[in-house]
Structure 1
């Protein structure tokens, strides 16, 4: 799974189509990439982010960033499972980290609820009343993850509960 970069899954491409409206801080701060970062780009970024020249970030497939340069990525931690079954993580420009969705289906519902990667990692959307659901992305989630409907707070809570050691693992790589 660490060889050639995969193509963007159709569900992810559909969910990211059209970009996101930041709406002066009231929307989603996310800029999707047209394709995954290359292995070289990922290695360069991860070495810089950790300050550790011995790591390469090969366990991440980066697909977008927030306005400050924090990255959203699939974390290839489930041995023998496909890309869409891997958790989605956020690695912020200031060192903030978090597992924000257990898999692509949960990530689709996170976006449908009006919460992007940075907002999920920062705790925005933990109160369902403050959300601005996205009808177009809700249609995508219904199409690709029917029967998995969940609110953003539940998506993020379950992801964090399933992978409680993510932050510590990453901090163990920093120099």
Structure 2
């Protein structure tokens, strides 16, 4: 499946990990297939009956945690779905309420892992001028500082972690 153009553009050229001071994110060129998503979701959750159809995975961090759109709004396009992170060590978080907010998260110097760990992890975000221009072009009305993007997403979807936990074995 093809990534939305704003996502593809924002992910172009990758991210600078900078020895742990940057963004730990490796974007994919396309969504994982549904078969790959099902295989990962079953392994991650320990639940062989899950199919992962609620996720469109588009990247990972260095340890294998995945970033995805969570299809929480039936019938809505992927661009209007929340962005989530499911970490290799069980970290779970909604990091942006939709693609527009995600673009501003990236512009503010956060990736999905850094957003999940915030504010418990001492991440010193470095705003990204190129991604700021992309966010401004595609989502000017959604402009928010990255911490506000994160807090808004968590407040809008407070039961995400409990829902994921209920599916795990």
Which of 117, 141, 154 aligns to 1:147? It is 141
Partner residue in 2 for 1:40: 35
Cα deviation digits, residues 110-137 of structure 1 (max 9, x gap): 0000000000001159989x32100010
| Contact kept in structure 1, 2:110 and 2:125, CA below 8 Å | yes
Partner residue in 1 for 2:95: 100
- Counterpart CA distance in 1 for 2:141 and 2:121 is 22
- Counterpart CA distance in 1 for 2:72 and 2:161 is 14
Gap regions ≥5 residues in structure 1: none
Partner residue in 2 for 1:157: 151
Change (3 A) 1:125 1:82: farther
Which of 124, 132, 154 aligns to 2:126? It is 132
Change (3 A) 1:159 1:121: same
Equivalenced residue count is 169
- Counterpart CA distance in 2 for 1:91 and 1:20 is 19
Gap regions ≥5 residues in structure 2: none
Following TM superposition, where does structure 1 have runs of at least 4 consecutive aligned residues deviating by more than 4 angstroms?
Answer: 124-128
- Tell me the TM-score normalized by structure 1: 0.93
